[in-house]
């Protein structure tokens, strides 16, 4: 995992988020991790970002670190996986 900080773009100056949505997409050279942080009670309070990871484990650690940094409870985390099945050439 890279040592640089995951950068998110926010619509407001606040950092009070209640939910995390992440999409991990398998690419030819690694994984793309797209993240959206948001607050159910304040729709204008949201942030998003994208990062590349060299492995699925690295992508998972990135999500774990962001959830911990913003105190997102596990039931409020949703993850979508987009994996390539190299045997059939289809996406899942």
pLDDT higher at 68 or 42 = 68
- Asked if 45 and 32 count as a contact pair (C-beta separation under 8 A), the reply is no
Indicate which CATH number applies to the domain containing 15.
Answer: 3.30.160
Question: Quick check: is 6 in a domain?
Answer: no
Question: Quick check: is 89 in a domain?
Answer: no
Question: Quick check: is 36 in a domain?
Answer: yes
Which run of H or E residues covers position 24? Answer: strand 19-27
Backbone phi, then psi, for 75, in 5-degree steps?
A: -65, -15
Q: Which residue has the tokens 């948001």?
A: 38
Report the domain count for the chain: 1
Question: Quick check: is 22 in a domain?
Answer: yes
What is the Cα–Cα distance from 69 to 63, expressed in whole angstroms? 10
Residue 60 DSSP SS3: helix
pLDDT tens for each residue of 7-40: 555 555 556 899 999 999 999 899 999 999 999 8
pTM, two decimal places: 0.74
Question: Quick check: is 3 in a domain?
Answer: no
């Amino acid at each position: 995992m890279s040592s640089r900080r995951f950068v998110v773009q926010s619509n407001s100056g606040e950092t009070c988020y209640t939910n995390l949505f992440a999409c991990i997409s398998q690419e030819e050279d690694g994984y793309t991790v797209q993240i959206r942080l948001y607050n159910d009670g304040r729709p204008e309070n949201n942030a998003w970002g994208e990062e590349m990871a060299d492995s699925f484990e690295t992508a998972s650690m990135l999500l774990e670190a962001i959830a911990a940094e913003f105190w997102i409870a596990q039931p409020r985390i949703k993850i979508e996986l987009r994996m390539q099945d190299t045997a059939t050439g289809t996406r899942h």
